[in-house]
Amino acid sequence: MDMLENMRAFVAVAKTGSFTGAAGVLNLATSVLTKRVSQLERAVGATLLHRTTRKVRLTADGEYHLPRIAEAVSRYDETLAAIRKGRQHLEGSIRIKVPTTLGFVRLDRLIHRFVRENPGIDLEVLLLDGPLNPAAEGIDIAITAFPASFEGVADEFLWPLSRSLVAGPKYLKALKALEHPRQLAAHPCLVYQPTGPSWSFLAKTGVTSVAVRPRLSSNDMLMLLEAAKDGMGIALLSKYITERDLKTGALLDVLPDFPVPDLWMKAMIPLERLHLPRVAALLNFLRSKGGSSSKQ
């Protein structure tokens, strides 16, 4: 927010031609404006304004950056104004891609709630696993954990997914207790295809990665969940689908002293759609409501 206000100060000075004029427009002290513009210049690594005792004018860098900075401030103000008007005023269609299990188990009721609260929006939900370019596929928001990025597409981080290593009592009864992730190489593992057979753990010495042997692999976490409960092997799964079975004892934690790093979910949005009020509203809704593992 500080950087946004620094950008707003620069735009006001550029438009009025003086710090005094900009101070009147923004109802701020001249010293505050001067500080904000200086902070912006340090952030971009360039002098944006030539300052003299009589007037202020743009440098070459200032002329280059002004349109982009002004557009960024304007889009922020437009988006905020649209959201403040209330969701009932949002209209249009949104296409959103959601990973299959995440959609069924965690986001379904949340999506239903958004649709109910926004009768002017038509929402098309695609349950798909695997990476894709939303700009090429005509998708407004693609939720994913894949690190891949695409040209012309913004990556907006949503929330972290906690994960844990689990197995059924039937499988663990026949084993000696595992003491280190390296031992997983000798065990049949149940692998979620999108994240692959290389599993990472947090140890006192840093991150430890292990290549495991997939006894069963699938792009469906629910299939792997049932396989783990049936004693087929060890699985690395998101806690939002394992927490209930961990509480009942249908699943047990494996290697609890070696926690698994969180998996960050992100929303990939084509740049030309990023500031559409309806898309911004859904993004903000998911970001604020989707971080809880419980259904809402």
* Residue partners of 7: CB distance under 8 A and separation at least 6: 40, 69, 72, 73
Predicted local confidence at residue 86, as pLDDT? 54
As given in the structure block, the two tokens for residue 294 are 């419980």
Predicted local confidence at residue 1, as pLDDT? 60
Predicted local confidence at residue 84, as pLDDT? 66
Predicted local confidence at residue 22, as pLDDT? 86
Predicted local confidence at residue 215, as pLDDT? 94
> What Cα–Cα distance (Å) separates residue 248 from each residue in 35, 138, 163, 252?
58, 43, 18, 9
Do 171 and 156 lie in one domain? The reply is no
In a domain, residue 41? The reply is: yes
* Residue partners of 69: CB distance under 8 A and separation at least 6: 7, 10, 11
Predicted local confidence at residue 139, as pLDDT? 95
Query: Domain limits at 22?
Result: 2-84
Do 156 and 274 lie in one domain? The reply is yes
Do 204 and 241 lie in one domain? The reply is yes
Which pLDDT tens digit goes with each residue over 121-137? 999 999 988 789 999 99
In a domain, residue 295? The reply is: no
Cross-strand bridge partners of residue 157: 266
Burial class (CB in 10 A: 0-12, 13-18, 19+), 287: middle
Predicted local confidence at residue 141, as pLDDT? 96
Predicted local confidence at residue 282, as pLDDT? 93
Predicted local confidence at residue 295, as pLDDT? 41
Do 154 and 275 lie in one domain? The reply is yes
CB atoms within 10 A of CB 55: 9
Predicted local confidence at residue 67, as pLDDT? 81
In a domain, residue 175? The reply is: yes
- pTM more than 0.85: no
Do 150 and 274 lie in one domain? The reply is yes
Of 28, 61, 84, which closes a domain?
A: 84
Specify the CATH number for the domain of residue 7. 1.10.10.10
Number of domains in the chain: 3
In a domain, residue 171? The reply is: yes
In a domain, residue 97? The reply is: yes
Specify the CATH number for the domain of residue 145. 3.40.190.10
Do 147 and 273 lie in one domain? The reply is yes
Do 192 and 206 lie in one domain? The reply is yes
In a domain, residue 294? The reply is: no
Do 128 and 273 lie in one domain? The reply is yes
Do 196 and 251 lie in one domain? The reply is yes
Do 135 and 271 lie in one domain? The reply is yes
Do 155 and 206 lie in one domain? The reply is no
Ranges of the chain with pLDDT below 70 = 1, 53, 78, 81-88, 291-296
Predicted local confidence at residue 96, as pLDDT? 97
Do 186 and 156 lie in one domain? The reply is no
What dihedral angle (degrees, nearest 10) is formed by the CA atoms of 192, 174, 244, 98? Answer: 0
